[in-house]
Amino acid sequence: MSVLVRPAAPTDQSRWRELWDGYTRFYEREPDEEITRHLWARILDDGVPVHAIVAESDGAVIGIANYLLHENTSALTPSCYLQDLYVDPAARAQGVGAALIDWLWARTRAQGWATLYWQTRENNYRARALYDRYTPHSGFLRYVLRNPPG
């Protein structure tokens, strides 16, 4: 399969949304329309450090990755956090996820960003099989406090 990775464009919204909804459900959440609209608006806003790339094959978007650039306390240049990566189930195990990571890693190196990093659930074995080809697990555990809605 030939895969082209590129920055998301306004014309990708509908397909990006389908894949985003699939990603959200994969992590056992229901898509939230307000959050989704807000996220897409941030992706398209050049003044915000939230970005998206898409993978396409034969003109069809088959994968997405959303990432954030941020300062950190351990380096002189920004870090890139790959927050969301999702490939259409019909296109999995064909190198699409790797193509998205490879594109972002090349961008990280070209821009001189300090790091590219991501996380996944411990039991997401399919994704971990891909991620382990790039780097060993960092050994860090994640703790989250959430502000209640309202």
pLDDT in tens, the chain (150 residues): 899 999 999 999 999 999 999 999 999 999 999 999 999 999 999 999 999 999 999 999 999 999 999 999 999 999 999 999 999 999 999 999 999 999 999 999 999 999 999 999 988 989 999 999 999 989 888 888 788 876
In this structure, what DSSP letter does residue 77 have? S
Structure tokens at 29: 């959440």
Token readout for 119 is 């996380």
4-131 has which CATH code? 3.40.630.30
**pTM higher than 0.85 for the full model?**
yes
Give CA–CA dist 10/43, Å, rounded: 9
Helices 13-26 + 33-44 axis angle, to 10: 130
- How far, in Å, CA of 134 to CA of 147, rounded? 34
Q: Which two structure tokens, joined as six digits, stand for 109? A: 């190196």
